[in-house]
Amino acid sequence: MGDVEQAVDEEILRALASTARLDILRWLKDPAGNFGRQEIGDFDVEGVCVSVIQDRAGMSQPAVSAHLKILHQAGLVTRKKIGNWHFYRRDELAIRRFLDTLSTAL
């Protein structure tokens, strides 16, 4: 006993195997530094809304939406809906858990 088999989350690895999604994830580390102002919602409380990320990414809105969906399904970001705004934020706990698991299981 003692050796708990920790499986690497392959869905997360696939989510990270993308320049666009890595960029988004890193931008979300410092919203104030990486994005412009946001009309509604506090960066550090609610998160960053899609249109703001879209401006920074220079991609179509559906493309950004799809990337965020993949990041969300992988559990790397959380989602909060306020009115018609969808705010995304890094899930630091999940990210840390993934990194720890990867460190031992890889």
Partner DNA sequence: TAGGAATATTGCTATATAACTATGTTTCGA
Partner DNA sequence: TCGAAACATAGTTATATAGCAATATTCCTA
For position 3 contacting a copy of itself by CB under 8 A, the verdict is no
Q: Is residue 63 at the binding interface for DNA, with CB under 7 A as the rule? A: yes
Neighbours of 12 (CB within 10 A): 21
Is 5 a residue that touches a copy of itself (CB under 8 A)?
A: no
The token pair that represents 71 in the structure block: 């990041």
Binds DNA by CB under 7 A, chosen from 16, 35, 59, 78:
59
Task: Tell me the backbone φ, ψ of residue 48, rounded to 5 degrees.
Answer: -115, 135
| Residue 51 binds which entry of DNA, a copy of itself, none, CB below 5-8 Å type-dependent | DNA
